[in-house]
Structure formats: structure tokens, C-alpha cells
Amino acid sequence: MNGIALRSARGTQLSLVCAALLGLHSSVLTRADEAADGKSAFAACSACHSVDGSKRLGPSLNGIVGRKAGSVADFNYSPAMKRSSIVWDAPTLDKFLANPQQEVPGTRMPFSGLPDANKRAQIEAYLATLK
Amino acid sequence: MAKVLPKRTVVMIGGGFTSALTARQLMPKGVDVVVLERGVDRSQAAADEIPSQRDELRWALHHENAQNIATETYTVRYNSSETALPARRLEAFIPGEGVGGAADHWNGQSWRWAEYDPTLRTRLQSRYGSLPNDLLVQDWGVTYAELEPYHDLWEKLFGIAGKAGNLRGQIQVGGNPFEAPRQNEYPQPPLEVLEAGIIFDAASKKLGYKPFPLPAANSPFEYTNPDGMQLAQCQYCGHCERFICEANAKASPQLLLYPWLARHRNFELRTQVHAVGIDYDKDNKFVSGVRYIDLITGEEFLQPADVVVLAAFTMSNTKLLLISGIGTPYDPQSRRGVVGKNFCHQTMSGVNVFFQDRWINPFLAAGSSQNVVDEWNNDNFDHSGLGFQGGGYIYSNVTNGRPISSRLLPTGTPRWGSAWKKANADWYAHAFAITVHGSCYGHPENYLSLDPTYRDAFGLPLVRINFDFRENELKMSQFLTQKAAELARAAGATIVGPPTPRTSPYDVRVYQTTHITGGTPMGADPTTSVVSPHLQHWDARNLFVVGASVYPQNSGYNPTGPLGALALRLGDDLGSYIERPRQL
């Protein structure tokens, strides 16, 4: 059971180490590989965000790519998020996930951000698969 | 007339921490469980959403996540010759109300107690000979070794973060050398060490102590527990105790247990129902159901059941037994009877330290992001000739930097005006407390009973708290606070505040901890305990009591860890009892 705790926190780093040992570079990983890794990296988000349309502490993230920020009906967004005029795609998600408060000052999402660019890219690839 | 409902297998009173853990063990067996909770589910509402979650006045000072004392408070007196009066401003502890109970607004400090704690009387007698007549220390009737697998399971369910100090008997560098032996490491590594922890660790090592990070239920990483329930990463926002975590990062029943239980067809949670009594057949030593008021309609119901589990807040467990006439009430004069005895609280004290050149920044902290030394806790040291028993852990106490109540100022600072403002600006980010989290052992005059005069909103007598800090705790606090002061001086602070040991009289306006224990102690001897070592009531074989009310004395450690273990073990015991009802 101990492994469960550490998998999500460290699993990504571990797989990058393995990739390095095998002489691979992250750029040869396909978008599908990234999305698969992204599903595990998404553990950083899934305590608060569902992907099946159900409301949790945060809005559901199915269909987020291509959607206007702050537009899920019935979700109580911050005024900052509603006003942001962001449309979610890989670049906007990347900026937001890197530092949510800097990108949307006043967002109510209590998350300080993901400094690891690879992890962000994986999550973005995974989110793009959710319809 | 109460409306009689269809009979259920298990009815639990209280939708908090212990009932959820007990119910969890019964789910795979398909046992039918109903939990009765007087409060509401506060999930995904003002209490756990930003910005309202940050309202210190509402949640921390007005206690909106806690028991509403306009409905039900306690009367208080220091000894049985006085007339008790109702506490109209209650701050000494914060009882829970609502799904999750007091564990929705806890700090997350997640200790196991010492290996000797469940056999404390035996331990102290073998070490020091006969004990003083007024030191009501008792054995639990169960050993730590029996509870260890349940500790392990609870820590995995709650994703506890820490560093093992004693792994299967091997002392581990960086952990607590006084820790009870554990089979496994903590499920998660410790939280970040704060500046105060760095200062505290250095001072501790200078004095020869072995500091370590406090075991925490504030999740340092995202975490998935064995039930597939998830925690998010702690943001160190300092809104843990008195608050419901807005980041889903503080392990709590309403986050990890109740949503999982709700997926089971054999589980039902009924909220806004207030238990007012348990139907009891004294001749046959049997309970037949729970009476409650529906708080929406005002109707009274009788919920018949094969088994009743009393899992309300500490004083409510004693209250429901006393108003239902179950068991013999404790009498301090004759020292006979058991219900209400061994009531204990916590003995907090400490010293404030101020560092001109260190950036403490209390605004970045978690409920358990502290560093600790355990050398002076309970019986971790020789008490020969000291004239008291017990002790406490000493720690770098930074849990938050909230604007109303977290303002440490040097002694002598004016209470208002520009000098007060300047001192706030100078010291807000440069101070912390070195705190003693002290034990409280049973005393014949510390007990609970029903108040003869004052009643709650339902017309039931209030619980009367007869409590003061007695000689044992006062001496302990003097001794421990000096140890904290030595650490403060060793830390090289610019200003060391005056050491402030706990003094008598007990003051309900001053927060100690919500670690209120006793009233329904567990034990192997029915003349000194209310429930058996399996938490089965001695006078009603299908009634079980769980919660901090079963502790015969309060340790220097926080009570949550062993409560988790006891509640999970009760779940397994109940499964066995339901298959074959008997004295366990």
C-alpha cells in the first residue's frame, strides 16, 4: 500500500529517470503516451475535479479544451475566472497550471501550481482526450 | 408519541470520525448500518470554498463548524461543593457538529500513543510502586500490539505523513525514538519543515534531544488511499483547525469515509436528527433502539435496532447513558459508580520566542507542520522524586498566521495604539511559541454528571463538568514549562517571553485543545469502567461506546490516532458480534 502514496507524487519523476536510462528523450514520446502518463499525473487534480460531469470541489473537466474559462453551468466560479476571457487550450492551460494565482489573480482554486513542465504537458494531453 | 420506524441492524449515534471508521469495517460484510447525525453536511458550501472558507471571524471565533452552544452548552464548576453555571462563551474546546464531527475542523496531528499507554497503571506501578490515591490511572484492557494493525490501516486510510522512529523495534534516525514499534513506515513522507522547525531542531540538538516532524494528516502530496479515496496537496494556508480544508488536503471523515460509505446499499446517513435517548431494558441488559428528534419537522422517532453504537462527542456519550439510565452514575464521595468518571482535558503551556533576524512567516503553515521533542512526555522519563506523573511533547507551535488571533507580541507591549501597531508590524513574521502539549490524568473530583437546574433546547439536562487542574497537572506543567523555557533560551531568541505554566482555576474562555476525554472509560474491571476492552457496555450487551470518552486518562499525545485504531477494531468486533451475539 505504501507504493500508492508515492506513485502519484514521484511516479512521473521515476518514469523520466527510466526514460533517460534507456536513452530516450521526452520529445520522442507520442501525444498518446503523454496522455497516458497524464492520467496518472492528473492525480494532482482529481481530489477536487471529476472528469465525468459531476460537481466536486472544482468544476468537472470533461470537455475543458476548447471551452471558455468559467463557463460550466451551476459552478460558483470566482469573478476573476469569469472575467478572464481565457479559452482553454494547451498554451493557456500550461500557463495557468504553472502558476494559477499569477495567471488568474483571484482564482478560487487552492492550488499553488505545477513547476514541472513535463507533468503539465502530460496533463494537458490527457485533458484534451476528455470529451 | 414517537413514530416507530422499521428495525435496522446497527444504529450509530453521531456522524463523526469513529462511527465512519466502524461502519467502514462492516460494509464488506453487508451489515445494515444507519448513522444518525444532528448536524448537516458542509461539503461544497461556504465552509470549504474560497473566499468564505477564509472567514476567521465566522469559523474560528464564532465556531460555526462546531456545536451550537445556544442549543446545548455545558455547566461548569471546579469542585462538587460549588453550584455549576452554564458556559455561555465556550472556547476551551470545540465540539463537533455536522458530518465529520470534530474531525472536520481538526489540525491533523496524528500520533500513536506510547507502547505503554494502554497499560499505564501496570507500567507506573511496576516502575514507582504504589500510586497516590487520587491518581485515577487505569489500564485499557487491550495492548498496543493488538491495536497496531488497526493503527497501520488507519494511517493508510488517512494518508498520514511522517517519519518512523521505531520500525519493528529498530530505532530510526530522524524519527521519534520513543515511538511505539510500527510494522511499516508512514504512508507519506513528512510535510515541509518550516523556519520555526529549523530553529527548534537546532535548539533541541544543542540540548541533546532528538527532534522529529510531527505526524500529519495534512497531505504533503496528492494521495490515494486503499479505498480509492483521494487527498489533494496541502497548500500550507494555515486554515486547518476550526476550518474545513478548502483544498481537500486534510484527511477528514467527510472527505475520505462518508462519500465511500454512501456508495454502499447497506449504509444510510441521516442528518439533522438529534438523539434524545436509548431505550433500555435493565433486567435483560439490552437496548432496543434510539429515540431522536427530526430537526426539520420536530417529530420524534424511535429507531429500533439489533445493535446500538454510541459514537457522539465525548460529553454526549456520557449524557446519553445518564439520561437513558444505563450504568451506574459515578459518585465522587463514595468513589463508586462509573458513568462520568475519569473526565480529563489537556494541560497546555509554553513560552513565546521572538527573533529579530529570522523570517518565521506564520502565514505559510499547516495544522501539523511542526517539529517536536518527546523526551518529556508521559512516562518517557523517570518521575522518581518529582511528585507528579505525566508529561507532554514540546514543539515549535506554528499552525497559522491568521489576522485576528495569531499575534504574538512581547510582554509589556501596549494593548492598543501606535506602539501596539508597531509591535505587530515588527513581530508578526518573527515569532512563534514553544508549546507543551501536556497530559491530564484522572482525578476523583474531575467527572461529568447531569446538571440539576439547566437544560438544553430539547429539555434535557445539560452535562455538568466538574473539573479543575489538580496538583498532579499543576506540578507537571511547572516542570514541563521549564523544559520549554530551556529550549527557548537555547534557540537564541532576541526576546524570550515569560514561561507560562498552566494554572488553576480551569477557564472555559481559554482554548486548550478539543482533546476532551473520559466519562465512559474502557477497562477489564466493570467496577472501574463503563465498557469492556472491546467497547461493549458492561450493562447492555448490544450497546457499544466509542470515542475519546473511552480513554481512562488523557495522554500527552493527541487522541486521534488510537481512536482511529479503536474504531476500526470495533468494526471488526461488531461484525463478529452480529454473527454470534455474546459478551466479547
Nearest C-alpha neighbor of B39 from the set B1, B72, B3, B66: B66
Percent of chain B residues topping a pLDDT of 70: 100
How does residue A29 score in pLDDT terms, banded at 50, 70 and 90? low
The domain tally of chain A equals: 1
pLDDT digit string, tens, across residues B453-476: 999 999 999 999 999 999 999 999
Cβ proximity of A20 and A53 under 8 Å: no
Q: Taking CB atoms and an 8 Å cutoff, what residues of chain B touch A7?
A: 224
| Residue entry with cell 513565546 | B352
How does residue A9 score in pLDDT terms, banded at 50, 70 and 90? very low
What dihedral angle (degrees, nearest 10) is formed by the CA atoms of B139, B140, B144, B150? -170
Q: Report the residue of A45, A48, A60, A75 to disrupt the B interface, i.e. the one with the largest count of B CBs within 10 Å.
A: A48
| Residue B40 predicted with pLDDT over 70 | yes
Percent of chain A residues topping a pLDDT of 70: 77
pLDDT (mean) for A79-107: 93
Indicate yes or no: CB of A110 within 8 angstroms of CB of B237.
Answer: yes
Cβ proximity of B432 and B353 under 8 Å: yes
Which residue in B44, B51, B187 is closest to A1 by CB distance? B187
Indicate yes or no: CB of B188 within 8 angstroms of CB of A5.
Answer: yes
pLDDT digit string, tens, across residues B396-453: 999 999 999 999 999 999 999 999 999 999 999 999 999 999 999 999 999 999 999 9
Of A66-75, B206-215, B476-485, where does mean pLDDT reach its minimum?
A: A66-75
Chain A contact for B192 (CB, 8 A cutoff): no
Domains of chain B: 1-45+100-161+250-343+515-584 (3.50.50.60), 165-214+347-438+469-504 (3.30.410)
How does residue A44 score in pLDDT terms, banded at 50, 70 and 90? confident
SS3 B351: strand
Catalytically annotated residue among B239, B345, B515, B534: B515
Rg of the Cα atoms in chain B: 23
Min Cα distance B259 → chain A (Å) is 11
Chain B contact for A1 (CB, 8 A cutoff): yes
Indicate yes or no: CB of A44 within 8 angstroms of CB of B156.
Answer: no
Min Cα distance B219 → chain A (Å) is 10
Indicate yes or no: CB of A44 within 8 angstroms of CB of B233.
Answer: yes
SS3 B55: coil
pLDDT digit string, tens, across residues B209-257: 999 999 999 999 999 999 999 999 999 999 999 999 999 999 999 999 9
Cβ proximity of B394 and B196 under 8 Å: no
**DSSP assignment of A27-38, as one string?**
GGS-HHHHHHHH
pLDDT digit string, tens, across residues B126-181: 999 999 999 999 999 999 999 999 999 999 999 999 999 999 999 999 999 999 99
Chain B contact for A105 (CB, 8 A cutoff): no
* H or E element in which residue B576 lies: helix B560-579
- Mean pLDDT for chain B overall: 97
Cβ proximity of B550 and B535 under 8 Å: yes
**What does the pLDDT read at residue B476?**
98
Min Cα distance B255 → chain A (Å) is 9
User: Which residues 33-52 of A are in CB contact (within 8 Å) with B?
Assistant: 43-48
User: Which residues 215-244 of B are in CB contact (within 8 Å) with A?
Assistant: 221-226, 230-233, 235, 237
pLDDT (mean) for B75-96: 95
Min Cα distance A100 → chain B (Å) is 13
Whether residue B151 lies in the annotated active site: no
Would you state the cell numbers that stand for residue A64, as one nine-digit string?
475543458
Tally A–B CB contacts below 8 A. Answer: 67
Task: Provide the residue range defining the domain that includes A45.
Answer: 2-128
- Nearest residue of chain A to residue B245 (CA atoms): A110
Distances (CA, A) of B472 to B373, B477, B554: 22, 9, 13
Which residue in A1, A5, A47 is closest to B232 by CB distance? A47
pLDDT (mean) for B320-337: 97
**What does the pLDDT read at residue B577?**
98
Distance from the Cα of residue B171 to its chain's centroid = 27
Indicate yes or no: CB of B187 within 8 angstroms of CB of A76.
Answer: no
Chain A contact for B184 (CB, 8 A cutoff): yes
**What does the pLDDT read at residue A43?**
87
| Residue B317 predicted with pLDDT over 70 | yes
- Nearest residue of chain B to residue A48 (CA atoms): B248
**What does the pLDDT read at residue A10?**
38
- Mean pLDDT for chain A overall: 79
Where residue A118 sits, what CATH number does that domain have?
Answer: 1.10.760.10
| A46 or A9: which leads in pLDDT | A46
Regarding an ipTM greater than 0.85, the answer is: no
SS3 B51: coil
**What does the pLDDT read at residue A13?**
41
Percent of chain B residues topping a pLDDT of 90: 98
| Residue A30 predicted with pLDDT over 80 | no
Q: Taking CB atoms and an 8 Å cutoff, what residues of chain A touch B247?
A: 48, 110-111
Interhelix angle A117-128/A31-41, nearest 10 degrees: 100
Which residue in B44, B225, B230 is closest to A46 by CB distance? B230
SS3 A59: coil
User: Which residues 69-88 of A are in CB contact (within 8 Å) with B?
Assistant: 76, 78
How does residue A55 score in pLDDT terms, banded at 50, 70 and 90? confident
SS3 B143: coil
Which residue in A5, A47, A76 is closest to B187 by CB distance? A5
pLDDT (mean) for A29-57: 85
| Residue A20 predicted with pLDDT over 60 | no
Which residue in B51, B223, B247 is closest to A5 by CB distance? B223
Q: Taking CB atoms and an 8 Å cutoff, what residues of chain B touch A6?
A: 188, 221
**What does the pLDDT read at residue B144?**
98
Indicate yes or no: CB of A48 within 8 angstroms of CB of B232.
Answer: yes
**What does the pLDDT read at residue B449?**
98
Indicate yes or no: CB of B249 within 8 angstroms of CB of A47.
Answer: yes
Indicate yes or no: CB of A47 within 8 angstroms of CB of B159.
Answer: no
| Residue A6 predicted with pLDDT over 60 | no
pLDDT (mean) for B40-60: 93
